[in-house]
Amino acid sequence: MEVIDGMRVKPTQREKTTDQATRHPFAQQHQSIVDAILARDGETAARCMREHLLKVQGYGSPH
Protein backbone atom coordinates (compact mmCIF):
# COMPACT_ATOMS: atom_id res chain seq x y z
CA MET A 1 0.00 0.00 0.00
CA GLU A 2 2.91 2.37 0.55
CA VAL A 3 3.70 2.35 -3.16
CA ILE A 4 0.08 3.09 -4.07
CA ASP A 5 -0.14 5.87 -1.50
CA GLY A 6 3.18 7.23 -2.72
CA MET A 7 1.87 7.51 -6.28
CA ARG A 8 -1.18 9.36 -5.03
CA VAL A 9 0.91 12.04 -3.36
CA LYS A 10 3.52 12.30 -6.13
CA PRO A 11 1.68 13.73 -9.13
CA THR A 12 4.95 14.40 -10.94
CA GLN A 13 5.76 10.68 -10.81
CA ARG A 14 2.24 9.85 -12.03
CA GLU A 15 2.60 12.33 -14.89
CA LYS A 16 5.63 10.41 -16.16
CA THR A 17 3.33 7.54 -17.09
CA THR A 18 1.37 9.56 -19.64
CA ASP A 19 3.56 8.68 -22.61
CA GLN A 20 2.44 5.67 -24.64
CA ALA A 21 5.78 3.89 -24.34
CA THR A 22 5.22 3.67 -20.60
CA ARG A 23 1.45 3.29 -20.55
CA HIS A 24 1.33 0.21 -22.77
CA PRO A 25 3.44 -2.05 -20.52
CA PHE A 26 1.62 -0.79 -17.43
CA ALA A 27 -1.75 -1.47 -19.10
CA GLN A 28 -0.60 -5.01 -19.89
CA GLN A 29 0.42 -5.47 -16.27
CA HIS A 30 -2.99 -4.20 -15.12
CA GLN A 31 -4.70 -6.64 -17.47
CA SER A 32 -2.67 -9.54 -16.09
CA ILE A 33 -3.78 -8.61 -12.58
CA VAL A 34 -7.44 -8.40 -13.63
CA ASP A 35 -7.25 -11.69 -15.55
CA ALA A 36 -5.84 -13.46 -12.50
CA ILE A 37 -8.54 -12.00 -10.26
CA LEU A 38 -11.28 -13.04 -12.69
CA ALA A 39 -9.78 -16.53 -12.78
CA ARG A 40 -9.87 -16.52 -8.97
CA ASP A 41 -6.13 -17.16 -8.94
CA GLY A 42 -5.05 -15.24 -5.88
CA GLU A 43 -1.45 -16.40 -6.02
CA THR A 44 -0.96 -15.17 -9.58
CA ALA A 45 -2.87 -11.94 -8.90
CA ALA A 46 -0.68 -11.21 -5.89
CA ARG A 47 2.49 -11.98 -7.85
CA CYS A 48 1.42 -9.79 -10.78
CA MET A 49 0.47 -6.94 -8.44
CA ARG A 50 3.75 -7.18 -6.55
CA GLU A 51 5.76 -7.18 -9.80
CA HIS A 52 3.77 -4.24 -11.14
CA LEU A 53 4.20 -2.16 -7.99
CA LEU A 54 7.94 -2.81 -7.94
CA LYS A 55 8.19 -1.69 -11.58
CA VAL A 56 6.12 1.42 -10.89
CA GLN A 57 8.20 2.20 -7.82
CA GLY A 58 11.41 1.87 -9.81
CA TYR A 59 10.14 3.74 -12.86
CA GLY A 60 12.02 6.96 -13.30
CA SER A 61 14.40 6.20 -10.44
CA PRO A 62 18.10 6.47 -11.08
CA HIS A 63 19.64 3.03 -11.66
User: Who contacts 3 (Cβ-Cβ below 8 Å, separation ≥6)?
Assistant: 53, 54, 56, 57
DSSP 3-38: HHHHHHH-HHHHHGGGSHHHHHHHHHHHHHHHHHHH
What pLDDT score does 63 carry?
45
Greater pLDDT, 43 or 2: 43
What pLDDT score does 58 carry?
78
* Phi (first) and psi of residue 62, to 5 degrees: -65, 140
The pTM of this model reads 0.67
What pLDDT score does 21 carry?
77
pLDDT in tens, 20-57: 777 888 899 999 999 999 999 999 999 999 999 888 87
What pLDDT score does 23 carry?
81
